[in-house]
Amino acid sequence: MFFRVIPKHVLPDLVRGLAEQYQVVGPVAKGDVFVYAPVSDAADLRLDYDTTVLPAKRWFFPESEDLMRFRVSDNAVMEESLDTAPRVLFGLHPCDVNSLLLMDNVFLGDTPDPYYKARRDNTLIVGVSCMPNEHCFCDAWGTGETHWGFDIFLTDIGDDYYASIRSVMGADLVDRYVACRMITDEDTAAFQRRAAEFKGAFSNDLDTSQLPVLLDAKFDSDIWDRLGEKCLGCGACSMVCPTCYCFDVHDELDADQLHGVRVRTWDSCQFKQFAAVAHGQNFRDTRASRVKYRYYHKQWGYLSKFERVLCVGCGRCTRACKAQISPPRVVRALQTGMVD
């Protein structure tokens, strides 16, 4: 990795430069929240945002997308195409950069998902440092920093950004569009002070040790019944989660019933029919079993395959849950045997 120092006041030059070739998507204000949205004016970009309602996954794995158009008569595929629009996601926090790396394990693994891959291949990532809010717990998983998965990462060191540059493309863009300079030891010292400040700013002190053991040993614990009684089964936790990748596929017929489109949409293991099979069998018939599965899969199922937990501590599900079910609360319940 190599580094540059970019004065904050010239950053709009980089955004404007990028916009010549890319669709720039970044955090913008929408009412009293922030969302990732296309940015038409560099001034709209709100790098001081705390979090977005929906995560960055929708720019790679949209909430709904057409997989293929088909003809019914001979079961033929008529058309399938990939979205290859050059895009830059500008302003992802470290948790969201890490979430994409976790998604990559699933969608770019042994059998790559072409729809996800096309977008991933054609999207640049510019990360930006943040300070934790009251729901953040990325420190519990070590996902509050990232050293992969971005082209440029901007760490706020006062009047300047300390820019970590990870890719050839990132280097080209910085050199071409912004007046930047080489780093000095003082800049690196400022970077370290910022990192220490970040580390010290967490209000949660979540102990996540030994979760796989606790999840298996307490699989039949009544904490899951307590949590199941609270859960509304709305699936909001999955929708706002930057690492929930489950999907459903259904066919929509045209009015003529001769053609149609096969559509993929986000799905959630919190929905009752998620694990149902034919002849009335449902392997997760209760809310308790579904709440449990979400955590079991994130903290153990995924870990058993990819050696990382499927959570980046962004706190979006904590905010979204109307029943106050959150990863810190579930982890504490696992440890104490009681739902607080």
Partner 1 sequence: MTSPVTHKAPVIANPYRPSPARITSIIDLTPQEKLFELRLIDDAARDAFDFQSGQFVELSIFGVGEAPISISSAPSKQGFIELCVRDSGDVTGAMHKKRCGDIVGLRGPFGRGFPFREMKGHDILLVAGGLGIAPLKSLINHIHDDRHEFGNVTILYGSRTPSEVLFREQFDMWKHREDFDLVLTVDQPDETWTGEIGLVTKLFDQIDVDPKSTYGAICGPPVMYKYVIAEMRKKAMDVDRIYVSFERRMKCGIGKCGHCGVGHQYACIDGPVFNYWEAMNLQEAI
Residues making contact with partner 1 (CB under 8 A): 16, 19-20, 22-24, 38, 40-41, 67-68, 70-72, 74-77, 80-87, 106-107, 109-111, 113-115, 118, 122, 216, 219, 245-251, 253, 257, 260, 262, 267, 269, 274-279, 281, 283-284, 289, 293, 296-297, 300-301, 304-305
- Least separation in angstroms between residue 119's CB and partner 1 is 10
Residues in the chain: 340
- Least separation in angstroms between residue 144's CB and partner 1 is 26
Cβ distance to partner 1 smaller for residue 205 or 256: 256
Contact 334, 218 (CB under 8 A): yes
The CA distance from 187 to 164, in Å, is: 12
C-alpha distances in Å from residue 26, one per residue of 55, 91, 245, 337: 11, 6, 21, 41
Cβ distance to partner 1 smaller for residue 58 or 297: 297
The CA distance from 234 to 236, in Å, is: 6
Of 157, 108, 100, 144, nearest in space to 125 by CA: 100
Residue 218, classed as helix, strand or coil, is coil
Q: What is the largest CA-CA distance in the chain?
A: 70
Cβ distance to partner 1 smaller for residue 122 or 167: 122
- Least separation in angstroms between residue 206's CB and partner 1 is 22
C-alpha distances in Å from residue 255, one per residue of 73, 93, 251, 252: 15, 44, 13, 9
> 251 - beta bridge partners?
262
Cβ distance to partner 1 smaller for residue 118 or 201: 118
- Least separation in angstroms between residue 230's CB and partner 1 is 21
- Least separation in angstroms between residue 148's CB and partner 1 is 22
H or E element, residue 124: strand 123-128
Token digits of residue 51: 């979090």
The CA distance from 257 to 127, in Å, is: 46
CB-based contacts of 166: which residues, under 8 Å, 6+ apart?
A: 1, 147, 148, 150, 151, 152, 153
Contact 266, 58 (CB under 8 A): no
- Least separation in angstroms between residue 240's CB and partner 1 is 17
Cβ distance to partner 1 smaller for residue 269 or 312: 269
- Least separation in angstroms between residue 87's CB and partner 1 is 8
Cβ distance to partner 1 smaller for residue 209 or 257: 257
Cβ distance to partner 1 smaller for residue 35 or 276: 276
> For residue 255, is it left (φ>0), alpha (ψ between -120 and 50) or beta?
alpha
- Least separation in angstroms between residue 72's CB and partner 1 is 5
Cβ distance to partner 1 smaller for residue 257 or 324: 257
CA atoms within 13 A on the CB side of 297: 13
- Least separation in angstroms between residue 34's CB and partner 1 is 20
Cβ distance to partner 1 smaller for residue 136 or 291: 291
